[in-house]
Amino acid sequence: MKTNTPSLKALRKRYETMKSLGAAMLACNAVLVPEGYDNLYLLIQNFQRPITSHHDAADVDAAGGLQLHVSGTRKTNFESQWTLIETEGGAIADFAEDMVNIHNGILPMARVYDGYVGDGDQIKGLREYELLDCAITFTDGGGEIDAASRSQILQVQASCRYNYFGQDGNIGSTGSDDVFANTLLAAIDNLGGLTPQSSTGNTNIFG
């Protein structure tokens, strides 16, 4: 029997289309960088990358048995499971201590970077995702100790609740997309074009 398969011309067309969509991303080709703990990204082994989404659609029952649905609100609160590698220096234990004693359980920001820019020497990706107000909770115990496990690393599990507003919601970006700076300048213009009068630290006082 002869198997029916696409022609070489059709396969070439699919190949070119696939190339235009970009190369397939490796599952390991992203990093999670907690703010203030930049080097810790090397020890975060597993995590979920954020993605913009809606809540579940809502059902609508209309007269005459008509059934409809409407989209839910945009989802801004997410949860992710992390797997971290503990070191002999106690890097994860120290991070957990800081989460309790310094941050009161909530890290202001963490960033996820997709891909690499250049040779990957810098912590910078093709896309950036801002995870805001990360409520990080470590599971009971700082990793399972097993005297018979001579070829396994010590891993620590944690869960993280965070807010994510999509890539368009980043107010710390540079250029024309700097939402925070543009909003501030627009407010100043509306107040009559105020100019900086003095500054204290990183705060400018306009008048």
| Token pair 């048995």 in the structure block, residue | 65
The residues facing 159 across adjacent strands are 81, 137
Distance of alpha carbon 175 from the chain centroid: 21
pLDDT at 198 over 80: no
The residues facing 112 across adjacent strands are 32, 129
> Residue 86: helix, strand or coil by DSSP?
coil
Measured over the CA atoms of residue 131, residue 137, residue 142 and residue 145, the dihedral's sign is negative
Per-residue confidence at 176, pLDDT binned at 50, 70, 90? very low
Contacts of 144 (CB under 8 A, 6+ apart): 154
Half-sphere exposure of 159 (CA within 13 A, CB side): 6
> Residue 180: helix, strand or coil by DSSP?
helix
Q: What does pTM read for this prediction? A: 0.75
* CA distances in angstroms from 107 to 85, 94, 95, 118, 153, listed in the order given: 19, 14, 11, 29, 26
* CA distances in angstroms from 93 to 3, 10, 36, 47, 116, listed in the order given: 59, 55, 16, 18, 29
Could you give phi then psi for residue 146, rounded to 5 degrees? -140, 115
Contacts of 153 (CB under 8 A, 6+ apart): 85, 86
* CA distances in angstroms from 46 to 16, 22, 64, 80, 150, listed in the order given: 33, 24, 50, 10, 22
pLDDT for 192: 60
pLDDT at 174 over 50: no
Per-residue confidence at 202, pLDDT binned at 50, 70, 90? low
| pLDDT tens-place string over residues 50-91 | 999 999 999 999 999 999 999 999 999 999 999 999 999 999
pLDDT at 189 over 50: yes
Could you give phi then psi for residue 45, rounded to 5 degrees? -85, -40
Round to whole Å and give the CA distance between 49 and 116.
Answer: 15
Domains of the chain by start residue, with CATH: 28-50+75-170 (2.30.110), 171-207 (no CATH)
Express as a percent the part of the chain with pLDDT over 90: 62
Q: Which amino acid makes up residue 157?
A: Q
Q: Which amino acid makes up residue 10?
A: A
